[in-house]
Structure 1
């Protein structure tokens, strides 16, 4: 298992992936399927906007808590 916010890393080494939003899995499956059919707003933003990853993390962070409890 690999946990990362780096979409390019996922594209390079993963066959399957899961997208989490606020700690909950919102989508999972074969990476090729996830990249071809952007269904959720989260996935659409990650795939179509190069700055989306950082902006998403900035918007959805919980104040006073780290974005990732284990790194």
Structure 2
């Protein structure tokens, strides 16, 4: 089972990790699925942040807004 908790910004990762860590004692397959899910979500967020930083650098280079 994959645990997800949503907040205003989107998804709060830490409770997902902690809760699955706690459930690890009973079910290892659920733990591994949750870890891969967690890493996938983290990768997506980092990719979006990278794109956002590129946008800011582009805007600074073209002297727009900043």
TM-score of the two chains, using structure 1 as the length reference: 0.22
TM-score of the two chains, using structure 2 as the length reference: 0.22
Q: Report which structure shows greater RCO (CA 8 Å, sep ≥6).
A: 2
**Larger fraction in strand:** 1
**Larger fraction in helix:** 2
